């Protein structure tokens, strides 16, 4: 299977891309190498991808680009069976300081991807959401049907992303799933 991982040089996307390669899938990574996280760590992640791909004899391609570029997204989605959309401008504080940038990347970038995917014969689009969509807890522990009342621009963009995915499923039959991550941690 050919898998496109957006944000594939980041923490979660990098580990997913590595796992897909190790499982024998062909992987394309799209990442803009935004220095929100250390670029050296991202470059190391890409090196690991190449090593795993070589060892498993599968195809691996890294494209330095941005989900905000519709032409790049269209080209890469056309070649994929599945898209794992991890690209985002993360961070609640960043979203408070730069709400336009966060909205541009998280919402407009996602719409570019969904538009491209609806034109392709896509098996599935998997999108990264966030527990930030919940806002302040009404009850604990959180459950999936907990009310969504985000308290930051970041949370709003992730909830918007979920709604856009649902609408593309309902209107266009595009198979989507959104994963609401809580704060991930682990080795780089």
Tell me the average pLDDT across 47-74.
98
Calculate what percentage of the chain has a pLDDT beyond 90: 91
**pLDDT > 80? residue 57:** yes
What is the token pair recorded at 135? 């806002």
Architecture of the domain spanning 2-181? 3-Layer(aba) Sandwich (3.40)
Average pLDDT (6-34) is 98
pLDDT value at residue 106: 98
Phi, psi of 80, deg, nearest 5: -100, 150
Band (pLDDT 50/70/90 cuts) for residue 95 is: very high
State the pLDDT confidence band at 188, using cuts at 50, 70 and 90.
Answer: confident
Q: Could you give the percent of the chain with pLDDT greater than 70?
A: 100
Closest to 25 measured CA to CA, from 62, 64, 52, 7: 52
| The residue to which tokens 């494209």 are assigned | 63
pLDDT of residue 181: 96
For residue 30, the model assigns a pLDDT of 99
C-beta of residue 167 within 8 angstroms of C-beta of residue 116: no
What is the structure's pLDDT at 159?
99
Catalytic: which of 60, 134, 154, 168? 154
Q: Is 60 helix (H, G, I), strand (E, B) or coil?
A: strand
User: Is 154 marked active-site?
Assistant: yes
Note the pLDDT of residue 88. Answer: 97
Domain borders along the chain are 2-181
């Amino acid at each position: 299977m050919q898998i496109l991982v957006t944000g594939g040089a980041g923490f979660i996307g990098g580990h997913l891309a590595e796992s897909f390669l190790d499982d024998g899938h062909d992987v394309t990574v799209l990442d803009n190498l935004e220095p929100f996280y250390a670029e050296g760590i991202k470059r190391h992640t890409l090196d690991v991808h190449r090593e795993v791909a070589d060892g498993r004899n599968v195809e691996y391609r890294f494209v330095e680009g941005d989900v905000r570029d519709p032409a790049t997204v269209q080209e890469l989605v056309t070649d994929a069976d599945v898209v794992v959309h991890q690209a985002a401008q993360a961070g609640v504080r960043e979203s408070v300081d730069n709400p336009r940038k966060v909205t541009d990347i998280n919402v407009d970038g996602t719409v570019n991807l969904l538009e491209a995917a609806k034109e392709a014969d896509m098996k599935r689009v998997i999108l990264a959401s966030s527990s930030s969509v919940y806002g302040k807890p009404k009850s604990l522990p959180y459950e999936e049907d907990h009310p969504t009342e985000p308290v930051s621009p970041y949370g709003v963009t992730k909830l918007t992303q979920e709604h856009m995915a649902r609408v593309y499923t309902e209107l266009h039959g595009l198979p989507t799933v959104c994963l609401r991550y809580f704060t991930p941690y682990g080795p780089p």
